[in-house]
Amino acid sequence: MKQILYALAIVLPVLAGCRQNDAASSEKDFNFSGDEVTVRPASPVANELVVESAAPSAFEDTFHTVGTVTPMAGRMAEVGVPFAGRITRVRVRLGDHVRAGQPLFEMSSPDFYDAVREYYEHQVEDRNAAANLTRREAMYRSGILSEREIEEARAEAQNARNAFEMSRMALSVYRVDLDHLQMGAPVTITAPITGRVVACSLTQGAYLKEDAEPLATIAELSRVWVSSRVKEDQIGRIVPGRTRAQVILDNDPEHPVEAKIVYVGEMLDEQTRSVEVVLECDNASRALRPGMFVSASFTTPVTSALLIPASAVFQGEGGKYVYLEQENLHFVRRPVRVESAGTEQLRVLSGLSEGERFIASGGIYLSE
């Protein structure tokens, strides 16, 4: 009996100590009350929390998007035929540099010959009607013709003039030199712009219809456009004249091309939720080719902003939030609006003010 009592005297204090240790270990590292959380000073979590004060920093906002290289308006032209006919002479080849008005090819066409014939006929009729009107006006002033007769002469002259102008306009489609026009001569098709022949399917002797595909394409690509798409939440950062733009080629990312913002679209694409932004680039090296996909970067002027680590921001049911320090190891969840500010940093748009202290890292351990 004495041996049993002796054993109990040894075991019971040990058991009591174990219970005390279990009670201590079961105490929580932190406790939540609504949006507030208190961390136990002796908790291992307290050693993981890094608290910082929100302070303004110099900030240069840069974001990227994608774009497509296109010729500038008025710097690319497709050349076709305005009528059915046969090509009688080809004057250019693929890759040639041509000037505006330079002959590209010649062709013969019954339609063209008819237009020339009508032009000459209406020219003669216009001259005759004008001469007739001059004679009749002299007779009218002498009292030989009546008011009705002179009005008829004036109407005939006006109709002849209209027909002549219409035939002149019809020939302007062919871009012919009316001062050197000859009956039966082939029509010469000239370059509408100065540039390089970047596509050419001209074949001497080929017969073409009016709806034939373009036979040559001329482009002037010393400067090009890049059409990019910018998301609606970023479009406000783009200010022509202040925002710096660059175009980056996939095959040469180390040498971006400086660009000028020439147009910021006013219509939002409902499918992509983006706006078109057009950039103009120098392309003397011809590195930018129409149809090429590139990256475009936009950088705003340096400003002052509150930047915080991405590790400080968490996503909840109601949105993003940070842990704001109320007092030592006592924090409250504060909703914030932020946007990306580069690698592992966020720019605070609202919800956090200068001087307020927040958990910069370690907040991940405060999970309920």
* Long-range pairs of 129-135 with CB within 8 A, sequence gap ≥ 24: 129/156, 129/157, 129/159, 129/160, 129/161, 130/157, 130/160, 130/161, 132/156, 132/157, 133/157
Strand segments (E) across 176-292: 187-190, 195-200, 207-208, 216-219, 223-231, 244-249, 252-264, 274-282
Q: How confident is the model at residue 6 (pLDDT cuts 50, 70, 90)?
A: very low
Question: Does residue 204 sit in the same domain as residue 88?
Answer: yes
Question: Does residue 95 sit in the same domain as residue 175?
Answer: yes
When divided into structural domains, the chain yields a total of: 3
Give every CB contact of residue 37 below 8 A, 6+ residues apart in sequence.
Answer: 30, 31, 323, 330, 331, 332, 333, 366
Decide if pLDDT at 24 tops 90.
no
Which is higher by pLDDT, 143 or 207?
Answer: 207
Q: Which pLDDT score is estimated for 2?
A: 41
Please give the residue range of the domain that contains residue 196.
81-213
Question: Does residue 110 sit in the same domain as residue 204?
Answer: yes
Domain boundary (182, 213, 244) is at: 213
Backbone angles phi, psi at 324, to 5 degrees: -95, 130
- pTM of the predicted structure, to 2 decimals: 0.62
In a domain, 17, yes or no: no
Q: Which pLDDT score is estimated for 226?
A: 97
Question: Does residue 250 sit in the same domain as residue 206?
Answer: no
Q: Which pLDDT score is estimated for 27?
A: 61
Question: Does residue 153 sit in the same domain as residue 198?
Answer: yes
Question: Does residue 233 sit in the same domain as residue 285?
Answer: yes
Decide if pLDDT at 360 tops 70.
yes
Question: Does residue 201 sit in the same domain as residue 312?
Answer: no
List pLDDT tens digits, range 59-87. Answer: 777 888 999 999 999 999 999 887 889 99
In a domain, 116, yes or no: yes
Q: Which pLDDT score is estimated for 322?
A: 96
Q: Supply the CATH number for residue 240's domain.
A: 2.40.30.170
Q: Which pLDDT score is estimated for 26?
A: 40
In a domain, 24, yes or no: no
- Of 94-103, 150-159, 176-185, 219-228, minimum mean pLDDT range: 176-185
In a domain, 8, yes or no: no
In a domain, 123, yes or no: yes
List pLDDT tens digits, range 80-122. Answer: 887 889 999 999 999 999 999 899 999 988 888 888 888 889 9
Domain boundary (175, 193, 213) is at: 213
In a domain, 185, yes or no: yes
Question: Does residue 239 sit in the same domain as residue 133?
Answer: no
Q: Which pLDDT score is estimated for 11?
A: 39
Give the dihedral sign, CA 136/141/142/143: positive
Question: Does residue 69 sit in the same domain as residue 117?
Answer: no
Question: Does residue 325 sit in the same domain as residue 347?
Answer: yes
Question: What DSSP character marks residue 269?
Answer: B
Give every CB contact of residue 4 below 8 A, 6+ residues apart in sequence.
Answer: none
Question: Does residue 321 sit in the same domain as residue 340?
Answer: yes
Q: How confident is the model at residue 368 (pLDDT cuts 50, 70, 90)?
A: low
Domain boundary (172, 189, 213) is at: 213
In a domain, 13, yes or no: no
Q: Which residues pair with 216 in a beta bridge?
A: 79, 200
In a domain, 23, yes or no: no
Question: Does residue 85 sit in the same domain as residue 166?
Answer: yes
List pLDDT tens digits, range 329-347. Answer: 999 999 999 987 766 889 8
Q: Supply the CATH number for residue 348's domain.
A: 2.40.420.20
Helices (H), the chain: 2-26, 44-48, 110-141, 147-172
